[in-house]
Amino acid sequence: MGLIQKNTVVLIIGGNMGDRVQLIAETTNKLIDRVGSLNKSSSIYETAAWGGNSEGAYLNQVLVLDTSLSPNQLLETIQNIENELGRVRGEKWGNRTMDIDVLYYNDLVISEEHLKVPHSYLPERKFVLIPLAEILPDQIHPILKLSNRELLTRCQDESSVDIYQKSPT
């Protein structure tokens, strides 16, 4: 029997519709069931909508999981979870019950039409960088060669990002 490859994936989950706390808990449970074991989770942060096409504050959380899924299997799995939780893919940056984005997959750089890792907007979004810097401050972005902490200090985003619920870990 061959060895199962263990990969570390960093995801951000969040939404602005429905029972946001319940949806984060449900998403986390589905990810543990289908993606792999949970290593770390950031605090849950409340942030203003980003991108201009949605209303109402978002709750977001960064999760670090171990997985044996390939990047494309991971993408398919998280899209299925989003759909099960009522995600409607309408307008870009529109309202959503749940959005799950792949921030990092090991230290790979993936540039496919449907999957970009590290996430293209990661350096520009404070709502991503604050929880990332909370739990993985020294992780190095494989393209920019800067730590998550350094990316946060350079980020131009001025949106407010507030702790909604402290991480239990």
Catalytic residues: 87, 96, 99, 101
Instruction: Give the Cβ contact number of residue 16 at 10 Å.
Output: 23
Residue 28 backbone zone (phi > 0: left; psi -120 to 50: alpha; other: beta): alpha
How would DSSP label each residue in 116-154?
EES-TTGGG-HHHHHHHHHH-TTPBPTTT--BHHHHHHH
